[in-house]
Homo-oligomer: A and B are copies of this chain.
């Protein structure tokens, strides 16, 4: 059975590739796994049929006949465990790559999302400018530390892994802010990752959903 991914019927970012289905599409493309996409409206996401797949009524979910999963991080890990290409064979190196997956999602992404959400929800508020300074400072501290760790290496730990895939996906959420450009090491890292043919195919696939509307 071809795996089925759920994604937004009406992309909130209008095809910029920032929705979380993009991470899973990218992993599927890196691993050479064909997939189908089931598009959901915001209303459909909160209906019982989808809540059975995803308790928080979000996208993406993943079904392959054997399993129904939610959470993009878990889906990427599942795919990386099922197919060769996104996790090293060596047990320690594999666990270090998985550590970078958690770092992307639990350390780096939350302040970046908080910054984006402030723009969405609070940009008309009188306090927005003052909060943005604080939010930017926190993001810059993380980017400085990440940049220092990456240094001259092409990827976070050895070959490109699911850890890089998630880290780059998270950093891309900052793209419109221009902040990443202050960190040339990270800008080059993102460029290196997004030039990968698998990223390009995944990006085109999610953009097509929007262009076809």
> Which residue of chain B has its CB nearest to the CB of A61?
B99
Q: Contact: A57 with B98, CB < 8 Å? A: no
- Using a CB–CB cutoff of 8 Å, the interface residues on chain A facing chain B are 51, 55-58, 66-67, 69-74, 77-78, 92, 95-96, 98-99, 101-103, 105-107, 109-110, 113-114, 121-122, 125-127, 130-131, 134, 142, 145-146, 148-149
Q: Contact: B149 with A73, CB < 8 Å? A: no
Q: Contact: B105 with A56, CB < 8 Å? A: no
Q: Contact: A110 with B107, CB < 8 Å? A: no
> Which residue of chain B has its CB nearest to the CB of A117?
B114
Q: Contact: A73 with B56, CB < 8 Å? A: no
> Which residue of chain B has its CB nearest to the CB of A103?
B71
> Which residue of chain B has its CB nearest to the CB of A113?
B110
A92 contacts which chain B residues (CB < 8 A)? 66-67
Q: Contact: A102 with B55, CB < 8 Å? A: no
Q: Contact: B134 with A56, CB < 8 Å? A: no
Q: Contact: B74 with A98, CB < 8 Å? A: yes
